Amino acid sequence: MKKLVFPFCMLMMLAAACGGKSDKDGADTLSDSTADSMPAMPEDAEDSLMAQMQVSKAADGVFYDFVASFCQNSRYQKKRIAFPLQRTVNGTTYTIEKDQWRFSKLHFNSDAYTVFFPSFKDMQMEKDKDIEKVTVQWYETEKNYASNYNFEKIEGQWMLTSIDEHSIDEDPNIDFLRFYSSFAADPDFQAKHLAETVTYDGLDPDNDDEFDAHFVKNHKISASKWSENLIPILPAKTFSNIDFGQDLSEATNERMVSLESPGSGFTSRLYFRRGADSWQLYKIENY
pLDDT tens-digit series, residues 114-158: 999 999 999 999 999 999 999 999 899 999 999 999 999 999 999
Whether the Cβ atoms of residue 106 and residue 74 lie closer than 8 Å to each other: no
**Looking at residue 200, what is its pLDDT?**
97
CA separation, residue 79 to residues 13, 50, 137 (Å): 17, 16, 21
Instruction: Indicate the range of 37-51, 70-84, 89-103 predicted with least confidence.
Output: 37-51
Statement: residue 3 has pLDDT above 80: no
Residues 247, 118 share a domain:
yes
Statement: residue 17 has pLDDT above 70: no
Phi-psi region of 211 (alpha: psi -120 to 50; beta: other; left: phi over 0): alpha
Q: Report which of 161, 129, 148, 136 is spatially closest to residue 243, judged by C-alpha positions.
A: 136
Q: Identify the band that residue 16 occupies on the pLDDT scale cut at 50, 70 and 90.
A: very low
- Overall average pLDDT of the 158-168 stretch: 96
pLDDT tens-digit series, residues 171-181: 999 999 999 99
**Looking at residue 190, what is its pLDDT?**
96
Q: Report which of 249, 62, 103, 248 is spatially closest to residue 257, judged by C-alpha positions.
A: 248
Rounded to a whole number of angstroms, the CA Rg of the chain reads 20
Share the mean pLDDT of the chain. 82
Residues 43, 86 share a domain:
yes
Whether the Cβ atoms of residue 257 and residue 114 lie closer than 8 Å to each other: yes
CA separation, residue 49 to residues 78, 190, 195 (Å): 18, 43, 48
**Looking at residue 38, what is its pLDDT?**
47
Instruction: Indicate the range of 33-42, 56-65, 86-95, 137-146 predicted with least confidence.
Output: 33-42
Distance in angstroms (rounded) separating the CA atoms of residues 239 and 8: 9
Partners of 152 in beta bridges: 133, 159
**Looking at residue 73, what is its pLDDT?**
83
Q: Report which of 160, 40, 43, 20 is spatially closest to residue 92, judged by C-alpha positions.
A: 20
Phi-psi region of 169 (alpha: psi -120 to 50; beta: other; left: phi over 0): alpha
Residues 88, 36 share a domain:
yes
Q: Please give the residue range of the domain that contains residue 93.
A: 1-186+240-254
Residues 194, 167 share a domain:
no
Distance in angstroms (rounded) separating the CA atoms of residues 149 and 142: 20
Residues 147, 40 share a domain:
yes
Residues 281, 178 share a domain:
no
Residues 50, 11 share a domain:
yes
Residues 275, 245 share a domain:
no
Residues 111, 205 share a domain:
no
Sequence-ordered list of residues with C-beta below 8 angstroms from that of 233, at least 6 positions apart, any chain: 3, 4, 5, 6, 8
Residues 199, 142 share a domain:
no
Distance in angstroms (rounded) separating the CA atoms of residues 23 and 156: 26
Statement: residue 75 has pLDDT above 60: yes
Sequence-ordered list of residues with C-beta below 8 angstroms from that of 54, at least 6 positions apart, any chain: none
**Looking at residue 2, what is its pLDDT?**
52
Sequence-ordered list of residues with C-beta below 8 angstroms from that of 126, at least 6 positions apart, any chain: 62, 63, 64, 115, 242, 244
pLDDT tens-digit series, residues 184-242: 999 999 999 999 999 999 988 888 777 777 899 999 999 999 998 999 989 999 899 99
Statement: residue 109 has pLDDT above 70: no
- Indicate the Cα dihedral angle 275, 277, 280, 282, nearest 10°: -30
Number of domains forming the structure of the chain: 2
Phi/psi at 168 (5° precision): -65, -20
Residues 81, 198 share a domain:
no
Kindly provide the residue ranges of all beta strands, DSSP E only, lying in the chain, ordered along the sequence: 81-89, 92-96, 113-117, 133-140, 145-154, 157-167, 194-203, 215-222, 238-243, 254-261, 266-274, 279-286
Statement: residue 287 has pLDDT above 50: yes
Whether the Cβ atoms of residue 105 and residue 91 lie closer than 8 Å to each other: no
- Overall average pLDDT of the 266-282 stretch: 95
3-state secondary structure of 234: coil
Partners of 130 in beta bridges: none
Residues 70, 127 share a domain:
yes
Statement: residue 42 has pLDDT above 50: no
**Looking at residue 20, what is its pLDDT?**
36
Q: Identify the band that residue 107 occupies on the pLDDT scale cut at 50, 70 and 90.
A: very low
